[in-house]
């Protein structure tokens, strides 16, 4: 258990934070890093409660979500800052030179902070420490730290001085300076992310006010992943691979990849293997995911991807490796956009497996080679193998023929492009339908889901939170469409509305955004909130009120 304090001040260039460069030591994770003052709790820190003011143990414990002893973290943060940099928030001034010998005695463990307070009549002032974040070192490392971070104004009238043992150098830096590559600081992931968060604030009081206003920061526990050349990469909770790594490697072996490589099979469960096609790009991310779902010798492919000989062969090779005599019995397609279904025909020829999927209502942007042997319907259940059941879920919106497939035993939904990872999908009329898209997102909230397996990217956890966020995002965008229409003095084309509605999207993507904008306008027309007018050869839109 550990505590750290971020001392803040306002410098000429804005917010500055005190950082220490730690000593170089062999076999020490923190060797040579630039960090914030802090360290592990001492059992004697609790004795200093009686020599502290400005905090209540019950209130702090509730804030930190611990049964008792929350003040121990505040005391430890103060003690460690005094040991390493000589700063000690107190209610009365003190002579730094007189107290200097105590820094080494505290650091060696000879005495506790309460003895210092008794010897010099000091009362620790904990009122200025504001809870900032909670981080836990990844599983799989021999020494882990469960650390609470606090922010505080630097104590007035005190000068930071390094102890030359733990802290060999002190630096008052703006977050931008600390993160600058040319400075070359060695930063742990938690330090880098904290600096990025601090960088959003112009001054110390802004950062402190934000910390006071927000709910207690949730636990952030990074994960370790396999990286090229046998190295280990740390993955943070908000990074795309995180949920998948947590599922596949809860112990922290660091043998799960944090990247997606075409043709490399990834065993997601005993019944699911992902193989990604070699078609990366702006619209496909790392490539289109194909999933082999089944057990024993019986396997079904979901989304065979583009017409790639390399990928078709990879799917056959992976299927053959799953069990002696394993075969592909069925090919399912989520929808017929050209990055998802063209591989169905050559894979069917190679394996003899029938192709299942629905034909789109409109031919634009569709795979015109698609000819299913069967069109599954909403609610149909497919027994792929004993204990492996898929249920068909019709999810029009991105495409009229879009199907998701729910692996009931694992509560995993194969989403195709209905739910993407890390981005929203283009809704392109006439086959795309915004009203249908929002309706089917709401419908999915009624399903018992644990995982989403998207057509592009990694496994996604917390499905219902993702679905609610998508709905909120689309409705927020819809509100911007309405506001833009109401500002127009005369009817305007979708293209003319894009800069106002998608002002948070790079201009290079405005062409794609125009398609989804038109889908929003058509939905609003159906809701009675927008009017369509023909102005010459173009379509123009106005608000109804």
At 481-514, the pLDDT tens digits run 999 999 998 999 999 999 999 999 999 999 999 9
How much is the average pLDDT of 21-48? 88
Contact 128/90 with Cβ under 8 angstroms? Answer: no
Question: Which 8-state DSSP code applies to residue 44?
Answer: G
Q: What is the mean pLDDT of the chain?
A: 95
pLDDT at 95 over 70: yes
**Percentage above 70 pLDDT, the chain:** 99
Q: 431 or 29: which carries more pLDDT confidence?
A: 431
Looking up tokens 């030359």 gives 164
495 CB burial (10 A radius; 0-12, 13-18, 19+): middle
**pLDDT band at residue 31 using 50, 70 and 90 as cut-offs:** confident
Closest CA to 471 of 431, 419, 432: 419
Burial 367-400 (b: 16+ CB within 10 A, else e): beebebeeebeeeeebebbeebbbbbbbbbbbbb
Closest CA to 342 of 309, 308, 306, 310: 306
How much is the average pLDDT of 447-473? 97
Rounded CA-CA distance 485/467 in Å is 27
How much is the average pLDDT of 172-190? 96
Longest CA span, the chain: 89
pLDDT at 371 over 70: yes
Instruction: Please state the pTM of the whole predicted model.
Output: 0.91
Contact 457/289 with Cβ under 8 angstroms? Answer: yes
Rounded CA-CA distance 395/425 in Å is 13
How much is the average pLDDT of 354-377? 96
* Amino acid 498: pLDDT: 96
**pLDDT band at residue 28 using 50, 70 and 90 as cut-offs:** low
Give the containing element (helix H, strand E) for 136: strand 130-136
Residue 543 sits at φ, ψ, to 5 deg, of -75, 150
pLDDT at 12 over 70: yes
Question: Which 8-state DSSP code applies to residue 428?
Answer: -
Contact 86/78 with Cβ under 8 angstroms? Answer: no
Q: How distant is the alpha carbon of residue 47 from its chain centre?
A: 40
Task: Quote the Cα angle for 360-365-367, to 5°.
Answer: 65
302 CB burial (10 A radius; 0-12, 13-18, 19+): buried
Rounded CA-CA distance 65/390 in Å is 41
Domains of the chain, first to last: 2-220 (3.90.79.10), 222-259 (no CATH), 261-461 (3.60.15.10), 471-543 (1.10.10.10)
pLDDT at 97 over 80: yes
């Amino acid at each position: 258990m550990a505590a750290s304090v971020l001392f803040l001040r306002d410098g000429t260039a804005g917010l500055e934070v005190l950082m220490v460069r730690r000593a170089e030591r062999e076999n020490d994770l923190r060797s040579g890093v630039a960090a914030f003052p802090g360290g592990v709790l001492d059992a004697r820190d609790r004795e200093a409660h009686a020599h502290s003011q400005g905090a209540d143990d019950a209130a702090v414990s509730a804030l930190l979500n611990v049964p008792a002893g929350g003040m121990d973290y505040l005391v430890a943060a103060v003690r460690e800052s005094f040991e390493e940099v000589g700063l000690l928030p107190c209610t009365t001034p003190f002579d730094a030179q007189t107290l200097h010998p105590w820094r080494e005695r505290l650091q060696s463990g000879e005495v506790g902070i309460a003895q210092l307070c008794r010897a010099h009549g000091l009362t620790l002032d904990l009122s200025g420490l504001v809870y900032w974040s909670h981080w836990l070192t990844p599983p799989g490392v021999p020494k882990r730290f469960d650390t609470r971070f606090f922010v505080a104004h630097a104590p007035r009238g005190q000068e930071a001085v390094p102890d030359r043992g733990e802290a060999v150098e002190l630096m008052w830096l703006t977050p931008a300076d600390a993160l600058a590559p040319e400075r070359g600081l060695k930063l742990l992931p938690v330090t880098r992310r904290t600096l990025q968060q601090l960088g959003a604030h112009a001054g110390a009081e802004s950062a402190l006010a934000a910390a006071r206003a927000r709910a207690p920061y949730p636990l952030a526990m990074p994960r370790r992943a396999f990286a090229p050349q046998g190295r280990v990469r740390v993955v943070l909770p908000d990074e795309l691979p995180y949920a998948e790594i947590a599922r596949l490697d809860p112990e922290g072996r660091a043998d799960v990849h944090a990247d997606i490589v075409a043709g490399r099979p990834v065993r997601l469960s005993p019944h699911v293997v992902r193989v990604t096609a070699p078609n990366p790009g702006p619209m496909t991310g790392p490539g289109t995911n194909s999933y082999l779902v089944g057990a024993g010798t019986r396997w079904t492919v979901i989304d065979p991807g583009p017409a790639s000989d390399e990928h078709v062969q990879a799917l056959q090779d992976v299927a053959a490796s799953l069990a002696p005599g394993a075969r592909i019995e069925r090919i399912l397609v989520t929808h017929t956009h050209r990055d998802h279904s063209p591989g169905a025909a050559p894979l069917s020829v190679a394996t003899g497996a029938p192709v299942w999927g629905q034909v789109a209502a409109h031919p634009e942007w569709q795979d015109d080679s698609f000819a299913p042997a069967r069109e599954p319907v909403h609610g149909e259940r497919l027994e792929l193998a004993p204990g492996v059941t898929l249920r068909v879920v019709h999810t029009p919106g991105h495409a009229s023929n879009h199907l998701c497939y729910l692996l009931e035993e694992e509560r995993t939904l194969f989403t195709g492009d209905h739910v993407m990872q890390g981005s929203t999908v283009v809704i392109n009329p006439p086959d795309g339908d915004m009203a249908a898209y929002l309706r089917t997102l709401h419908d999915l909230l009624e399903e018992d889901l644990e995982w989403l397996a998207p057509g592009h990217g990694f496994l996604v956890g917390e499905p219902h939170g993702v679905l609610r966020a998508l709905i909120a995002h689309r409705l927020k965008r819809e509100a911007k469409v309405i506001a833009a229409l109401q500002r127009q003095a005369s009817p305007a084309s979708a293209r003319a509305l894009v800069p106002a509605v998608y002002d948070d999207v790079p201009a290079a993507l405005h062409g794609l955004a125009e398609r989804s904008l038109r889908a929003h306008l058509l939905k609003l027309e159906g809701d009675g909130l927008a009017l369509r007018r023909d102005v010459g050869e173009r379509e123009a839109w106005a608000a109804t009120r």
